[in-house]
Amino acid sequence: MEIFIGNLPFTVTEDELRDALSLCGEIRSLRMVTEGRSNIFKGFAFAQMATEEGSKRLLAMNDTIIAGRPAMVFPARKRQQRHRSPQSTRGGSYGRRTVPKLR
């Protein structure tokens, strides 16, 4: 089960977060979400624990202080698919529409 961990300070390191989460058991994976280009931490992460018992312990850490802030810990929701229309208004024209010529 993937678990969302939010309300983390932007300054927390992966080692600090791993130390806090390891109290719940073995961590299978930890993904700290960062800005694409700047690689700055966005204040939330996703974790998977090695056992179901570890997942339950981690979920029980909701409102626990991690790196000085009360963490929000919830089961992660499935990511929704983004659908783009073939005539998307993004990119290329910088918001300008082409107007058909009149005869």
Per residue in 10-26, pLDDT (tens digit) is: 999 999 999 999 999 99
pLDDT value for 86: 59
Domain membership flag for residue 102: no
Domain membership flag for residue 50: yes
Phi (first) and psi of residue 72, to 5 degrees: -100, 120
What is the tally of structural domains in the chain? 1
Domain membership flag for residue 63: yes
Write down the pTM of the prediction.
0.74
pLDDT exceeds cutoff 90 at 29: yes
pLDDT exceeds cutoff 80 at 71: yes
Domain membership flag for residue 100: no
Domain membership flag for residue 23: yes
Burial track 46-81 (b if 16+ CB lie within 10 A, e otherwise): ebbbeeeebbeebeebeeeebeeeebebeeeeeeee
Domain membership flag for residue 98: no
pLDDT value for 91: 57
- Average pLDDT, stretch 36-48? 93
Domain membership flag for residue 40: yes
Domain membership flag for residue 82: no
Structure tokens at 95: 């918001």
Residue 34: CATH number of its domain: 3.30.70.330
User: What is the domain extent for residue 32?
Assistant: 2-75
pLDDT exceeds cutoff 80 at 6: yes
